[in-house]
Structure 1
Amino acid sequence: MQLTTHTDYSLRLLIYLAVKQDEKATIQDAAARFDISANHLAKVVQTLVQLNYVVSHRGRGGGLRLGLPTESINIGKLVRQTENLQLLPCFGNKTACAIDSACTLKGVLARAQQAFLKVLDDYTLSDLIGAHQQQLKQLLNVA
């Protein structure tokens, strides 16, 4: 399964905010650290704010910070909330596939997807940072 750029950027931003800890960050700063589009990251931030993973403060002295403790941010849940998990058109309610009634591929792919998500369910943002927090700070040039 391939994750979308939206989910990729969501995970990167959450890691960055976790490494910065209580310091606020800006979209431009985070985008520069990862060499990604600030415009695309702004759309990701909107999603993460709506899902309460990120808190955004406007104006002078504003910025972004985590909206939840790192141990409360489950990676599987985040992926479910940011991804379109319909692997094939036949995963929807309406299918025009000629072999739909006899096809077992749909069930196999659904099981594979469930297994993928189950593994992600075992991890939190805290687990992703773990013992590598200092190295992540250095790589992201965070004081």
Structure 2
Amino acid sequence: MRVSSKGEYSLRALIVLAKQPDKRFKVKEISEETLVPAPYLEKLLAQLKTLDYISSKRGLDGGFQLKQDSQDIFIGDVIRRLEGPLAPMGCVSVTSYEPCVLESTCLLQPLWGIVRDTVAEVLDQTSLKNLLEQNIQTKGGAQNGAIR
């Protein structure tokens, strides 16, 4: 899995909106806080709106805001919908499996499966609210960026 600027910047925008869920933010405000150029940000916000994470209103009192509660938006879902599968290799992808000619004898496949499962576990358990509270945990109890 590789998170592109599209995924990173979209998450930054969602975090800004989640900090003040009752406020409508102008593109310029989000751009200034996320350091994402406004023209690119507009495209990302349009996609986040299509994916039903945010809503928008036109006009002087318009802007963008979260459509869902921050505790209901999970990072794993956002990344999958924006970037695609979390698996590092197609041969271990749950949603986009791609067979490999070495699959029956490949000693790397179990490793890639563990990587996929570990990444999915962390991202699927982490909501926008968790990020705002700086409360990221795994089953093993690692917390607040202590995952190594």
- Say yes or no: TM over 0.5: yes
State the Cα distance separating 1:57 from its structure 2 match. 1.2
1:31 paired residue number: 31
Deviations along 1:52-106, one digit per CA (max 9) or x if unpaired, are: 11101123321000000111111221122111326346666666x6645532424
- Say which of 86, 106, 111 aligns to 1:108: 111
Q: Specify the SS of the correspondent of 2:133.
A: helix
1:12-23 aligned at under 5 Å gives the runs 12-23=12-23
Question: Given the alignment of the two structures, is residue 125 of structure 1 paired with residue 134 of structure 2, yes or no?
Answer: no
Structure 1 unaligned regions, length at least 5 = 133-143
Deviations along 1:23-80, one digit per CA (max 9) or x if unpaired, are: 1101222112222221221121122111111101123321000000111111221122
Measure the CA separation in 2 of the matches of 1:66 and 1:93: 33
Question: Given the alignment of the two structures, is residue 68 of structure 1 paired with residue 68 of structure 2, yes or no?
Answer: yes
1:52 paired residue number: 52
Equivalent position amino acid for 1:76 in 2: G
Q: Specify the SS of the correspondent of 1:102.
A: coil
Measure the CA separation in 2 of the matches of 1:55 and 1:25: 11
**Matched residue pairs, number?**
131
Q: Percent identity?
A: 28
Equivalent position amino acid for 1:37 in 2: P
Equivalent position amino acid for 1:119 in 2: V
Q: CA RMSD in A?
A: 2.4
| Greater percentage in helix | 1
Equivalent position amino acid for 2:51 in 1: L
Equivalent position amino acid for 2:39 in 1: N
Measure the CA separation in 2 of the matches of 1:131 and 1:108: 29
Equivalent position amino acid for 1:26 in 2: K
